[in-house]
Amino acid sequence: FILFVGIRSSFGHRPANNSDAMYSSDRIVNEITKNSFYSIGYAVYVSKRHGSKGIIKKYGKMDIDEALIRVKERLNITNTDDIFPLSRLEKTHFKSENTKNLVIFLQESIGYQFVEAVGGEKGITPNLNQLSKEGILFKDLYSNGTRSIRGIAGSVAGNFSVPGKGVLKRNKSQSDFFTISSALEPFGYHTMFLYGGESRFDNMKGWFSGNSFDQIIDQPQFENPSYVGTWGVSDEDLVIRANQEFRKLHNKKQKFAAVMFSTSNHSPFDFPDGKIELVGGVEKKSVTNAIKYADYAIGQFIEQAKKEEYYKDTIFVILADHNVRVYGDDMVPVDMFQIPGMILGQDIEPMIYEGITSQPDVLATALDLVGVDLKYPIMGHSIFSDQKKDVSLMQFYDSYALRSGDKVAVIRPHKEPITFHYQNHHLVEEEHDLDLENDALAFVVTLDYIYNNKLYH
């Protein structure tokens, strides 16, 4: 028993991992705290199980120079750095001496079909529906993939899904990988990640800490929470704590950039009683009611924030990490990648953006609204930029779907690429668009290359 506990190194429902050794934003300090033999063994394990070696060849062959040219042209990225192939200086369209704070509130597993404002069912998300009228609503927004680690990479780092395991769990992205922290810390921002659960899950703590986030607040740091479920404290506890932290930073005249991540909409769908009017016809512990509660907490957060001094100086992003269930008859069920997303702030003019949008596009738009010129490798553009294109890249198991307008090219291992026309929420096969199919391969080759060579800066 003692040996078992020693190996597991935890009495919690998850065993210890490298995230448990992360307590500093200094990478060297964190490395010293790790067990060397464990770290080496874990690196070998991750490389063999989750690495991309050999994966790329399954999709086809393409020279990296051609791949980079194709990706830059498809995304309309120009004037890039000589060393870091996607990095370029982006001038803000909202230049200000008083730059804004940034808060990204990621929502666990909310699909467009639950949000009336983007074409979903009525009555489930009244707060999101109301807030959508107060800021920028992305009417046609798509997630990177089907897991939280893919959504975090897209929304916090502006990166599409790398082949193999996601970057949160991969060795070469545990440091020196672009995030909002590396973008804004040089301008004096305090950066933080707030999560109601255990941040060791999916190595979130390790990844955020290793990539220069100053502060991690997760479940063990919540004192006397009002409710604790299977996945952590309630979303209400999260938003109350976030509001307190933001108020303290504002009172110290400290600019901040924060990522918040909800927990309630996750099986077994725990949330406190008496907060919402339950949706009829479904069990209390259901996706629909969990989303309605998550919506309630979003409303509480914005209501609290509006009463604070920091509100007028802050850009708020609310978007999902991915849809709740990604399934369907199509080779890649594109409609099940659609998610809700919006940007709010006191000075933001309400608008509905109808164009195809990716999670990297949302991040680029939010950073644009912060009001400072930034150099970054984000694989998308602000909606206020003339360079913005209607492009999204979706990963579905081992398939990739590159969408440009209403055309979708799908590539799969060891199979011929296929081109589809996307209409009425379904894919209809049409004659090959060789340029789009080759661009889909180019994205996979490029993503693998910039990860393996640590060039995402």
Render pLDDT for 211-240 as a digit per residue (tens, 0 to 9): 999 999 999 999 999 999 999 999 999 999
Q: What is the mean pLDDT of the chain?
A: 93
C-alpha separations of 100 from 131, 232, 302, 304, 395 in Å? 19, 30, 16, 18, 33
Element at 409 (helix H, strand E): strand 407-411
Beta partners for residue 353, in sequence order? 138
92-109: per-residue pLDDT in tens? Answer: 999 999 999 999 999 999
CA gap 282, 237 in Å, rounded: 25
In whole angstroms, give the CA distance from residue 12 to residue 232: 12
Q: How far is the C-alpha of 88 from the C-alpha of 379, rounded, in Å?
A: 11
pLDDT digits (tens, 9 = 90+) for 52-78: 567 788 999 999 999 999 999 999 999
Burial of 167-191, coded b for 16+ CB within 10 Å and e otherwise, reads bbbbbbbbbebbbbbbbbbeeebbb
CATH topology classification for 59-86+395-452: Arylsulfatase, C-terminal domain (3.30.1120)
Q: How confident is the model at residue 19, as a pLDDT?
A: 47
β-strand pairing of 228-229 with 88-90: unpaired
Domain boundaries, the chain: 21-50, 59-86+395-452, 90-380
What's the rounded Cα separation, in Å, for the pair 160 and 203? 18
Write out the two tokens for 286.
């259901």
Q: What is the pLDDT of residues 132-163, one digit of tens each?
A: 999 999 999 999 999 999 999 999 999 999 99
Residue in 52, 39, 19 with CA at minimum distance from that of residue 453: 52
- Write out pLDDT tens, residues 265-322: 999 999 999 999 999 999 999 999 999 999 999 999 999 999 999 999 999 999 999 9
Provide the whole-model pTM: 0.91
What is the rounded CA–CA span in Å between residue 180 and residue 350? 24
Q: Are strands 314-320 and 101-107 parallel, antiparallel or unpaired?
A: parallel
| Whole-Å CA distances, 387 to 217, 352, 373 | 37, 19, 16
∠ CA 297-299-302, rounded to 5° = 110
Q: What is the β-pairing status of strands 136-142 and 391-396?
A: unpaired
Report, in angstroms and rounded to the nearest whole number, the Rg of the chain calculated over CA atoms. 21
Give me 240's structure tokens. Answer: 């109350």
Alpha-carbon distances of 117 from 110, 136, 231, 279, rounded to whole Å: 13, 12, 28, 18
Residue pointed to by tokens 């003692």: 2
Residue 212: CB atoms within 10 A of its CB come to 19
Residue 39, pLDDT above cutoff 60:
no
* pLDDT at residue 326, as a whole number: 81
The residues facing 259 across adjacent strands are 104, 193
Domain 90-380: CATH class, spelled out: alpha beta
Tokens of 454: 């640590």
Residue type, 172: K
Does residue 20 surpass a pLDDT of 90? no
Distance of CA 238 to the CA centre of its chain: 18
